[in-house]
A and B are shown apart, each in its own frame.
Chain A
Amino acid sequence: MPIAEELAKKQKEISIAEFFERNRQILGFDNLTRALITSVKEAVDNSLDACEEAGILPDIIIKIEEAGENEYRIEIEDNGPGIVKKQIPNVFGRLLYGSRFHSLKQSRGQQGIGISAVVLYSQLTTGKPINVISKIGENLPAHSYELLIDTKRNRPHIVKEELMHWDKKSGTKIGFYIKGKYVKNRKQSVYGYLKNTAIVNPHAKIIFIEPDGTKNVFDRVAYELPEQPKEIKPHPYGVEIGTLIKMLKETNAKKMVAFLSKEFSSISPQKAKEVLSLANVDTNISPKEIGIEKAKRIIESFKKIKFISPPTDCLSPIGENLIKRGLRKETSQLSPEFISTNKRMPCIFRGIPFMVETGIVYGGNLPRDERIEILRFANKVPLLYQEGACVITEAIKNMDWRRYGLEQKGGKGIPYGPAIILVHVASVNVPFTSESKEAIAHVEEIEREVKLSLQQCARKMKAHLSKKKKRAKAENKFLLISKILPEIAKKVAATLGKPIPPIDDVITQIMNIVWIDDSVNSNGNLTESRINVTNYRKAIHTFDLYVEIPSKKYLVKAIPEPEKIGENYMKWKVEKIKPSEKREFKFILNTDFDENNIYVDGINPVYVIGAEKWEGE
């Protein structure tokens, strides 16, 4: 059975209608610029969700064309599983029709109002029907529809329906006209949204064709799909009265004990009885007979009883490596000098599992005297608006960034400096401040986790900066010996008409250190590290050189052969390195790796620049 058929089973309808016609601003259609971004966003979010659920690496094409004054035609095509014929009109032509309203599962479009709201907006501003083509399997025909929404009845109105050939394995393409305004070169734009989407979805390939014909390709840099988030049942601590009443109505359970232990996570039959007795509700009563008063008492009892936490394996993070890869790819033209990432363990707020991941990009061509850029994500969707109202921004403002090397007036507020901060909050139920889903509400647990995660990243950044400072001093000397001194020798020789004098001995005296410099180069999945050791001292030295590695299982090759390979380090013996002699050590890892941590042993560390003293494993 095609996957779409399975998905279709879960799609239940929820009836609400004209309300949205009058309240389109809460859905993110309050101005022309934003309406265009929201339209693309809802469709792309759906495409990504559909592809991932079906285990397909997403290939998404977005095309925007001008169609009149402030009118655009938008087309979004994916290679997802497609939608079964019967469901196509409902998915697009009916508000609040979706599979996700009752489920608790980390997904992009959490409430299933997205795409039909776009259809409605299209219809309200242009009067034109939308076009949907969908195909669910290799040897099946594609179905093409032209649709409008009957706004009084909240039902799809099919304008045209036909079979067609579509040269694609499976997928969905929708095309629609909207009133909008296309903007470029700013964060709040279609380009900005797609670029940020590409950062946190490195497994997706996104092609974007702008109205002027410019083709932007956000290429895939990861070839594995993120792990599928699992659906979980609500936890008693997170359930509200409205949801409980709805659940009571819709359950198949015959008795209350069964209802509580089946429809919730973390409630055993034993606990269910405890809840009911505390709420003074008969254990054998049918859920259909519970009125609002009893429901209220049950909610009260939930709060008084200790339940185990809900399972947290339901979340699908992006992962540190992929965040790093995404950030590196999308900031490559700024050539940042450092990227650090961190992933926290899952946590719970109000019985709802969530987790936080962060990343910091530092240096390169990022502006030095401007506010840092904040990239906010919720369930892998970029949040472009309402930055000031978001708990992520609040957490950043409440950290003292001065101690990590950024500027911040009075140790509060958004810091200044050459940095980009990325924060991703994944949850089965992201607590947004409003329906437009642009800002995450102030939840203490989330703020704390964001801070803890950013502190980890910032500490790595700080370590990098201290290292850099130390080296800057040494680099002055390096400039001296590699440029200035040879120039002096050349010029005096020319003035006197004599051969250029040798300067190696003088260099050794000026430096009087063993110089260790390194570089790290990524090439796809492989990372090559090179470490150069140059003896700028008068003495011959023998010492041990240690380099940290994430794990020896990633080691592809090391040249020369290390004397020892530990789980997290390699050791070379630098044997009798003579004055002015230079030796190279290199290794290749098949994982992401940003910065070498180099240590030495058996030589006074004050004679060494570029490595710390080895303190043992």
Chain B
Amino acid sequence: MNDVLKELKSIAEKIYDDLEKSRIPNLQLPARTKSNIRFDERYRVWKYGNQRITRSAVSLPGAYMILRTVYTLDFIRQMIEQHKTSTLRELYYISEGWGEAKFYTQDESDKLAEDLEILTKKLREDLKLRPEEDGARVIGDIVIEERTRKGEKRRIHCQDDVGDSGYSIPYNVEKEKIKFIETNANKIIAIETGGMFDRLVENEFDEKSNSILIHLKGQPARSTRRFIKRLNEELNLPVIVFTDGDPWSYRIFASVAYGAIKTAHISEYLATPSAQFLGVTPSDILAYELPSDELTKEDINALKSELNDPRFHDEFWINEIKTQLEVKKKSEQQALAKYGLNYVTDVYLPEKLAEMGYEM
């Protein structure tokens, strides 16, 4: 039997068994909180710790969660049998017909899909659920072989075969879908904003710096993070993250490098522990005298919360965050345009990369 089906069935069996043996049905899950992530020495990523919460049918919310779980897993079972997939949004709408098990917001169904990943130790893709967001963009000297929807293998050179918006990362980036054929690049630069990605493309920085440029599109989708991790592991390319200089952007870096709290159950699969943060750092704001905005109350709270976040417990981050709390300023990547459109590619990035020990 299909491995995933087996896992799904074992959850149903657990509930069935509880009822048959006159136990109140319950499911145990790791607590998905900041206080329950631990550094995994083996994978060098942050994963859930030992705190577990029990969802028990003794209370109404617990009973609803179990009811929705059994409905969702039965739905996934049917999809597997019928070779179908659905988006997370479709899962939410499909539940309209589930009576009491219906989800009232997509948040609820998204969260349940994550719960099921944790319970089955399988990926969302294995559960035939795919995200809504389209993948991020890639430009650089790399040849990718993609298996198209018609089953053909197509080779794409991510400079020569794509337009200025680059190659678009599909939601499934596993080996059966994508293979990396060859590359002449020596590093990967992941960029937070579309504006900066387009600036580097226009300035031909991929060629000048011999880099693969990847647009993160804010908080990166799973497929983007998985794609970066595979490039890093399979082609041995270092990963450099270039974001805005504010607390929210540091979290984008953290999710690329260490794993996100929400998906800590699959951090070893998504996170790239060797990824490095290039900037914009609070020190850069001062050193390059960048145009800046005052930190808001929310920014300050976010920074303080990062001081308590185990993922940021190293000297670099503690110093930078403290500096930022002192100067109370934040800057965007595009603030570098203060010195002209070519400044970022002619001065800032070469200087920063050299500082980090990279060749152009």
Residues of A in contact with B (beta carbons under 8 Å apart): 476-477, 479-480, 483-485, 487-489, 491-496, 498, 501-503, 505-506, 509-510
- Given A483-B100, A484-B67, A506 contacting B24 (CB threshold 8 A): yes
Does B71 touch A at the CB level, under 8 Å?
yes
The reply to whether B57 and A487 form a contact with Cβ atoms under 8 Å apart is no
Q: Cβ of A494 and Cβ of B100 under 8 Å apart?
A: no
Contacts of A492 in B (CB 8 A): 12-13, 15-16, 19, 70
Q: Which residues of A contact B19 (CB under 8 A)?
A: 488-489, 492, 501-503, 506
Contact B63 A484, beta carbon cutoff 8 Å: yes
Q: Is the CB of B20 within 8 A of A485?
A: no
CB distance A487 to B12 under 8 Å?
no
Assess A488 versus B67: contact at CB under 8 Å? Given A483-B100, A501-B16: yes
Q: In the complex, are the beta carbons of A480 and B70 less than 8 A apart?
A: no
User: In the complex, which residue of chain B has the Cβ closest to the Cβ of A512?
Assistant: B58
1/0 contact trace for B1-44 toward A, CB 8 Å? 00000001100110110111011110000000000000000000
User: With A and B bound together, what is the CA distance between A480 and B8 in angstroms?
Assistant: 24
Chain A residue at minimum C-beta to C-beta distance from B62: A480
A503: chain B residues at CB < 8 Å are 19
Q: Indicate the size class of the contact surface on chain B.
A: 20 to 34
Q: How far is the CB of A479 from chain B (nearest CB, A)?
A: 7
Across-interface contacts of B9 in A (CB, < 8 A): 495-496
Classify the secondary structure of A's interface with B. helix
**In this assembly, does B101 line the interface, its C-beta being within 8 Å of a C-beta of chain A?**
yes
On B, residues with C-beta under 8 Å from A are 8-9, 12-13, 15-16, 18-20, 22-25, 57-60, 63-64, 66-67, 70-71, 73-74, 77, 99-101
Return chain B residues, CB-CB under 8 Å to A496.
9, 12-13, 16
A sample of 11 cross-chain residue pairs with beta-carbon separation below 8 angstroms, ordered by A number, consists of A480-B57, A485-B63, A491-B71, A492-B12, A492-B16, A501-B20, A506-B18, A506-B57, A509-B58, A510-B24, A510-B57
What residue of chain B has the Cβ atom nearest to residue A509's Cβ? B24
Shortest Cβ distance from A473 into B: residue: B60
Choose among B15, B18, B64, B77 the residue that contacts A484 (Cβ–Cβ < 8 A). B64
Docked CA distance A522–B42 (Å): 73
Residues on A with beta carbons closer than 8 Å to the beta carbon of B22: 505-506, 509
The answer to whether A491 and B63 touch across the interface, beta carbons within 8 angstroms, is no
Closest chain-A Cβ to B17's Cβ sits at a distance in Å of: 9
A-B contact count (CB 8 A): 74
Closest to A491 in B: B70
Question: In this complex, which of A493, A498, A506, A510 has the most chain B Cβ atoms within 10 angstroms of its Cβ?
Answer: A506
Question: Does the CB pair B13–A488 fall under 8 Å?
Answer: no
Bound form: Cα–Cα A487–B99 in Å = 9
Q: Which of B13, B23, B67 has the most CB of A within 10 A?
A: B67
Inter-chain CA distance A188–B292, complex, in Å, is 65
Residues of B within 8 A of A480 (CB): 57, 59-60, 63
- Known contacts A488-B25, A488-B57, A506-B23; 12 further A-B pairs (Cβ under 8 A): A480-B57, A483-B100, A484-B57, A485-B63, A488-B67, A488-B70, A491-B101, A492-B13, A495-B12, A496-B13, A506-B25, A510-B58
In angstroms, Cα B12 to Cα A505, docked, is: 19
A492-B15, A501-B19, A506-B25 as given contacts; A485 in contact with B74, CB under 8 Å: no
State in angstroms the CA–CA spacing of A476 and B58 once bound together. 11
Question: Which single residue of chain B is at the shortest CB-CB distance from A490?
Answer: B70
C-alpha spacing A480/B22, complex, angstroms = 16
Query: Is A488's CB under 8 angstroms from B73's CB?
Result: no
Contacts of A495 in B (CB 8 A): 8-9, 12, 70, 73-74, 77
Chain A residues in 8 Å Cβ range of B73: 495
B residues near A501, Cβ cutoff 8 Å: 16, 19-20
Q: How far is the CB of A616 from chain B (nearest CB, A)?
A: 36
Known: A503-B19, A510-B58. A484 touches B100 (CB 8 A): yes
Q: Which residues of A contact B24 (CB under 8 A)?
A: 506, 509-510
Contact A491 B67 (CB under 8 A): yes
Which of chain B's residues have a CB closer than 8 A to the CB of A509? 22, 24, 58
- Structural contact, A488 and B15, CB atoms closer than 8 A: yes
User: In the complex, what residues of A have CB within 8 A of residue B77's CB?
Assistant: 495
When chains A and B are docked, how far (Å) is the Cα of A494 from the Cα of B70?
Answer: 10
A505 to B70, CA, bound (A): 21
**The residue from B23, B58, B63 contacting A488, defined by CB atoms under 8 A apart:** B63
CB-CB under 8 A for A485 and B57, given A492-B16, A506-B23: yes
Residues of A within 8 A of B15 (CB): 488, 492
Whether A493 contacts B16 by the Cβ 8 Å rule is yes
- Chain B: minimal CB distance from A489 (Å): 6
The CA-CA distance from A391 to B324 in the complex, in Å, is 67
Cα–Cα distance between A489 and B15 once the two chains are bound (Å): 8
CA distance A432 to B77 in the complex (A): 77
Of the candidates B9, B16, B24, B64, the one having the most CB atoms from chain A within 10 angstroms of its own CB is: B16
